Amino acid sequence: MNKVIGLIAGSLRTESFSKKIAQALLTLAPEGFVFKIISLDDLPIYNQDFDDHGHVPESYVKFREDVRALDGVIFITPEYNRSVPGVLKNAIDIGSRPYGKSVWGGKPAAIFSNSPGNLSAFGANHHLRQSLVFLNMPVMQQPEVYIAHVTEMFDENGKLKEGKSKDFLKNAVDAYTEWCNLLKK
């Protein structure tokens, strides 16, 4: 049976480069894997009262069910102020609660960080790793996936250009999926 890997882009922006990378990854899944975009577009800011007093938004219920059903997750994160954008941290928090019912635990993860600048969202990449340690998600160590100058990766139609960038992403995806297979046959 195919393993299903969720692609979570940490941006709400319509023209988001992180979303474009997620779209491109859909076409790069190797045999035995299906990639599925998990949208963060409809998730209100987490409020513990929702869980404590039984007012859980429908979008939380769906998000938690969708993530629970996954075999692994690739996080595609931009960087906001040297950290993870709030929308991604919010999604992580939503999936981690109610206490003891986290949907993240045990799922192998990879982090693809990206930026229009030189530094490739290194800060966001490593802040995200810190949360994933607590959530008990094993994270692929190598290759590390830092994408600089993300604005240059796509053509005028928003499609991933052929060449070095595509090869780099494909190599990262293959390393991740091979590692997933080692963890769980």
CB-based burial of residue 104 (10 Å sphere; 0-12 exposed, 13-18 middle, 19+ buried)?
buried
Q: Decide if residue 149 touches ligand FNR (CB under 6 A).
A: no
Backbone angles phi and psi of 34, in degrees to 5? -125, 130
- Is 102 near ligand FNR (CB under 6 A)? no
Report, in Å, the least distance between residue 147 CB and ligand FNR.
11
Q: Which position among 5, 7, 8, 18 is part of the footprint of ligand FNR (CB under 6 A)?
A: 18
In the numeric block, the tokens 């499609």 are attached to 159
Report how far residue 113's alpha carbon sits from residue 77's, in angstroms, rounded to the nearest whole number.
5
Among 5, 17, 29, 87, binds ligand FNR (CB under 6 A): 17
Q: State yes or no: residue 116 binds ligand FNR (CB under 6 A).
A: yes
74 lies in the binding site for ligand FNR (CB under 6 A): no
How many CB atoms neighbour CB 134 within 10 A?
11
Smallest gap from Cβ 95 to ligand FNR, in A, equals 20
Applying CB under 6 A, which of residues 6, 72, 78, 108 lies at the interface with ligand FNR?
78
> Measured between alpha carbons, how far is residue 101 from residues 3, 85, 98, 104, 107 in Å?
22, 24, 5, 9, 14
**Residues of the shown chain interacting with ligand FNR in the complex, contacts defined by CB under 6 A:** 11, 13, 16-18, 78-82, 115-117, 119, 121
